[in-house]
Structure formats: C-alpha cells, structure tokens
A and B are shown apart, each in its own frame.
Chain A
Amino acid sequence: MALLNGTNTSRNRFFAIMIVTFGTIILCLSMAVSIAFGAVNINLSTVWESVVSYDPSKTTHQIIINLRMPRVVAAALVGSALAIAGAIMQGMTRNPLASPSIMGVTSGATFAIAMALAFFTSLSPIGTMFAAFIGASIGAGLVFGIGMLSRNGLTPVKLALAGSAITALLSSISSAIAIHFNVAKDLSFWYSGGVAGIQWESVGPAIPVFIISIILAIMISSSITVLSMGEDVAIGLGQKTGLIRTIGFLVVLLLTGAAVSISGTIGFVGLVIPHMIRFLVGTDYRLIIPCSAVLGGLLLVLADIGARMINPPFETPVGAIMALIGVPFFLYLARREGGR
C-alpha cells in the first residue's frame, strides 16, 4: 500500500521489530519471575526445568505447572487480548478514548456472567465464556445505540460518558440480582478483576478463541489502518468498510469476552497500551497490533507481580493496580479531548 509508505516507515518498522523481539524476551523473563515468586520461592532454574522436563513426582514441579503457570499465562493472554481489542476499537472508531472497559464491553460481559451465575448456580468455564460473549455484545450494542440516537453522533467524550452510565446501570442491576440469589461473593471476584487462583480449566477454553481472534486481527490490520484515516478515504480506496467493521467488532467482542471470562473486569489496559504503541511506531496497524499484544501481556504480568508484592501474603486485585496506572493517563487524554 503506497499510501502507508511515509518517510518514517523504516524507522517505525525498526521500532516495531525491536518492541516485538525485546518485548517478547522481557515478557518471557517476567513470566518466569512471576512463576518463581510466591509463598514458596522457587529458583528460576527449577522453573525452566519443570517446563522442559516435567516430573509429576516433584512437588515444586506440580506447584509450577498446576498452580503458578495458569495464573501467569492468564495474565499474559488477558493483557494482550485487551490491548489488541483497544487498538482495534481506537482504529476503527477514530476515537482516542475507545477501549473495552470505557465503552461498556467489559461491564456487559460481567453483567451476563452475573446473570448466568444467578440462574444456573454452577457455570462451566465454556458456559462462562459464552455468557461473556453475549454480554459483551449487549454492552457494546447499548453504548453504540446511545451514540446512534444522539444528535451529533458518537463523539469521544459522549462515548466515555455513555460507557460509564451503562457500566453504572449494568453493575447496579447485577449487584441487585447477585444479592437476591446469594451469589454476591462469587460475583465480587469478577468485579475486582484478578488472576489469582486461576486453573488451567478456565484458561484452556479461552486459548483457541485468543488464537483465532489474534489471527483475524492481524489479517484485517492493514484495512484498519485505512479505516483509521476516515470513512471517506476508506471507501475511496475501494474498501468494504462494512465487512471490515463487522470482523473488527467480532474480534473485539471475542477477545474482551474471553478475557473477562478468565479474569473479570480489568480496565485501562486497552486504553493505555495502544496509545503508547502509536506514539512509538506510528499509525500503521500492521505494526500496532502485534506490538500491542506483546506490551499488553507484559504490562499485565508485571501488574500482577506488583499486586502480589504490595501486601503479602494477601493479594491486591490486579484490576485496582491497573486503574492506578491507567488513571493518570486517562486524565491526560481527558484534558486533551475535553478541550475540543
């Protein structure tokens, strides 16, 4: 695409390759540190050993593979999923405030999980994920519906306001239902957002969904770049904008739904990471999406390590840590956007 070959392209591509390579290395290292760090400290070499040659008879190996590994894998997956979802949303809607948590997608997913918990008492991981998909679509549908109905369309600010109103509405309804059906305690896990105590059973079903969505995201990444230049440009270049948008939103819903079904509500990853990446590698989504995936995973793995270090032996929800990291950034954006 000749249009994309600006002057900075080679520099951007260089940055992107650096981010993906070094990011992946640092990600793997932090995952190893995260596994080693805990109530019983384990050597990094033992971590390596248990991955390469797993010996079920050793207790440390069992702790690593069955208790600590799912947690860190979940953190990395959820982080990348939310970051990719945020990047796609920001690209497609040309809205710097777009992200799964601000647009009500995560709160929709949590709402549906609350409903499912209330009416089916016990939920299989696949059932949870399915509920989360439906809920994510409801949340996104409501916020976009409000945007369509309002007079001057979906401005960035209006989107943020609509998202927070929908979040307030859905969470109050689901809290009420949770109290009535006595599942408030189960639900609080999904609200505070965390990866503590996650088992392979709940991570497993989400992995194929992540892989499919990430492949789809990379496939449509160049079209998203064109869309991010505006609807008119995209149509002018002969793009099927409707098709791309549909696939894009499907990917967002799949990624967010799967992420919420694992870890509950974790905000701000999808907002912060794409902005950082765009600052580093420019506006080409073929570069933004892979970089977001790597750095999103890294951020959440690090935040999870932080969450365990603040107040040992207790765990702080990683969602709260992310909020504290994300809010200053949100305030910066709010100052910029609100001035318009």
Chain B
Amino acid sequence: MMYKSRKQKWKVVVFFLTILLALLFIASLSFGASFISPVAIFNSVLSSTPGQYDLVLFEFRLPRIVLAILIGIGMAVSGAILQSATQNGLADPGILGINSGAGFAVILYIFFTQGIRFESELLQLYILPIFALCGALLAAFLIYIFSWKKSSGVTPIRLILVGIGINAAFSALIIILQLKMDPRSFTQATVWLSGNISGVSWSYSYALLPWLIVLLPIVLFKARYLNVLTLGDAMSTGLGVNVNRQRKWLLLLAVGLAGSCVAVGGGISFLGLVAPQLAKKLVGPRNEILLPVSALVGAVLLLFSDLVSRTILAPSEMPIGLVVSAIGAPYFIYLLIKS
C-alpha cells in the first residue's frame, strides 16, 4: 500500500533524492585537503563573526559544489530531451559529439585570444558560453545533416554512429589547435577539456546560472510536446503536433543546455545518458515528472562524482569528467547488452 499511484511514487523518489543530495552536500563540504566536521560547518554557517573555516568553506568548497549541482542539472536535462526527442535511449550530448563541438569552439576562442589580455578574466567567463553554444550548434547541425536520409529520416542508430564520427573529427581538430598554443594556454585547455571543476570561483556559477534560468522553464513548458514525440512520429502527427518543428525547438534547447555546461565545466560525457535513464526507471516516462527528477539525479550523480574525484586517489585530484565516464561507460554497455 506504499505507492497508491505513480503520482505518489514520484513524491517519495523526489524526497529520497533530496535527502541524498543534502547528505552529499554536507559530505562535500566536510571532505577535502583538510577534514571539517559537520558540527564545525554548522557553527561556521550560524556564527556571524568570521571563523577559521569560512574561507575554505565559502570560497573554495561551496562554489565548486554549487557548480557541480548546476552542471548536473543542465547535462541531465539536456540528455533527457535528446533521448525523448530522438526516441533513442543511448543519446547523450557527450557521445553524440555535441560536447566536443562546444569544446572545439572554446579552444578556438582561447587560441585566437591567447595573446590578448582581457580587462578581467571575468568577462571571458561570460563570453565563453556563447562560443560554446555556437560550437555545439555546429556539431548538432552536422550530426543532423549526416544522419538524415530521404528514405528513412533520422534513425536512432545512425544518429549515434554519425555522432561518434563527428566526435572523433572535433577531437582531432582540438588536438591540432591545442598543439599550436603556447604552453600556458595548452595546459589550461587540457585540464578544461577533460571536464574539470576544481579550483572554480563563484563567477563560474554566475556565468552558467542565467542560461539555466532562461532555458529550463522553456523546457518544462515544452515537456508535453516531448511526451507526444516519444510516441513516434506517425502518432505525433496524428495527434496534431508539428513533429519536426517541435523536435527542432527541443533539440535547440538540449544543445543550449549542453553547450553552456561545457563552457564552464568542460567535456563531461555520459552524465546526460545515465541520469535520465535512472530517472526513467524511478518515475516512468512522463516528461513533466521525468525532467525534474532527471535534473535531481544528475545533480546527485555529479556531486557524488566530484566527491569521488577528490577523495579516491587523494592527494591527487582527478578531473571529474573521468570519474563520470568510469561510472557512465559501464552503464552504457549494460544498456547496449540489454537493447
């Protein structure tokens, strides 16, 4: 009698996920180069006078945690849209090459501006997402053209295969550009490319937040179209939905989310694959519920990966993208075996 209906089940799921997120949040604040006990964190938050942990907590650890949550949300929602809109359970902005397209644009930007000094690094941070977005759009556009055929439209399998190819091409271009850079920009680019959120300041979150604030409500508004698209093209057309138009809008939103996340966090693959899949297992395929739950799962997963990336091989710190791949790739393989 625990779950009377789906409607109640998702409330339970959201409740548990929120608790999990809160626990991870506290754990992420505690663990690090020095351990800070939850009690000390509590005191530090409550006391009005500056304490000994304030700097570490609010300037080093918290920005990172907030950024991980934001990227987790963005990537997961992007993946969820891609999976529903293309009716393809294996779709993910990383696998499809959208991330490497965005990465290519960012590297191109760093490459052409490496000599120029900006008035502030901050400005650069707000410009990067726009470039990343252009790159992501270019990649998405290429994938779409190459996987479209007159006879059968875009089949899921062809989409993924073409995505793998586009991914390889952009990665090669990135390597070529990278080697033309001066050593300092090279290191900067390498670290960023493997998906890294260590040592970030608050401004990274500020740079990402506007995109999420604008894009996520639109996504939620479009969720009902996503439900219809999941049924297949013929059915959707029958229900009076202009399939291609809505799909293009939704794909644009997914690309926008992925691009802006890549701009601040670098190439994090597989998150957009795993989070929506897990969410679907938990609450079913209705997008009004699936999208928020995917976002929550994405945040939990990325925060968890961040914790692992900092602690598993301490004192060396892994780029978070590697941890996510190490978790996500086996899941992808599992899906492959089952499908």
Contacts and interface: CB of A to CB of B under 8 A. Distances in A.
Contacts of A331: 146, 162, 165-166
A302 interface: no
Interface centre among A180, A315, A319 (most CB of B within 10 A): A180
Nearest to A192: B175
A320 B90 contact: no
A314 B168 contact: no
- The A interface is mostly helix, strand or loop, or mixed, namely helix
B333 interface: yes
A179 B270 contact: no
Nearest to A97: B161
Contacts of B316: 179-180
Interface stretch (B27-35, B287-295, B322-330): B322-330
B171 A323 contact: yes
B242 interface: no
A317 interface: yes
A78 to B, nearest CB: 17
Nearest to A182: B316
Interface string B264-275: 000001100000
B128 interface: no
A267 B321 CA distance: 23
B214 interface: no
Nearest to A268: B168
Contacts of B339: 150
Interface stretch (A33-41, A87-95, A120-128, A165-173): A165-173
B245 interface: no
A75 B62 CA distance: 50
Contacts of A151: 337-338
A267 B167 CA distance: 13
A175 interface: yes
Given A146-B333, A320-B172, A323-B172, A334 B162 contact: yes
28 contacts: A146-B336, A146-B337, A161-B332, A168-B270, A169-B325, A169-B333, A172-B321, A172-B323, A172-B325, A172-B326, A173-B326, A176-B318, A179-B316, A180-B316, A192-B175, A267-B168, A310-B176, A316-B175, A320-B175, A320-B176, A330-B168, A331-B165, A334-B146, A334-B158, A335-B147, A338-B162, A339-B151, A339-B158
Interface in B292-317: 313, 316-317
A314 B180 contact: yes
Contact of B313 (A165, A176, A311, A338): A176
A160 interface: yes
Nearest to A317: B175
B336 A180 contact: no
A161 B336 contact: yes
A279 B107 CA distance: 38
Interface residues of B, number: 48
A13 interface: no
A317 B180 CA distance: 11
B322 A175 contact: yes
A314 B179 CA distance: 8
Interface residues of A, number: 44
A323 B168 contact: yes
Contact of A166 (B90, B158, B333): B333
B330 A169 contact: yes
A331 B166 CA distance: 8
Nearest to A323: B172
Interface of A: 146, 149-151, 157-158, 160-162, 164-166, 168-169, 171-173, 175-176, 179-180, 192, 267-268, 310-311, 314-317, 319-321, 323-324, 326-327, 330-331, 334-335, 337-339
A329 to B, nearest CB: 9
Given A161-B336, A165-B333, A180-B313, A327 B165 contact: yes
A317 B179 contact: yes
Contact of A162 (B270, B318, B328, B333): B333
Given A166-B329, A317-B175, A331-B165, 11 more contacts: A150-B338, A151-B337, A161-B90, A161-B161, A164-B164, A172-B321, A311-B176, A327-B169, A334-B158, A338-B147, A338-B158
A338 B171 contact: no
B179 A311 contact: yes
A169 B328 CA distance: 8
Nearest to B317: A179
B164 A158 contact: no
A319 B147 CA distance: 25
Contacts of B175: 192, 316-317, 319-320
Nearest to A170: B329
Nearest to A322: B172
A23 to B, nearest CB: 26
Residue among A161, A166, A175, A315 with max Cβ neighbours from chain B (10 Å):
A161
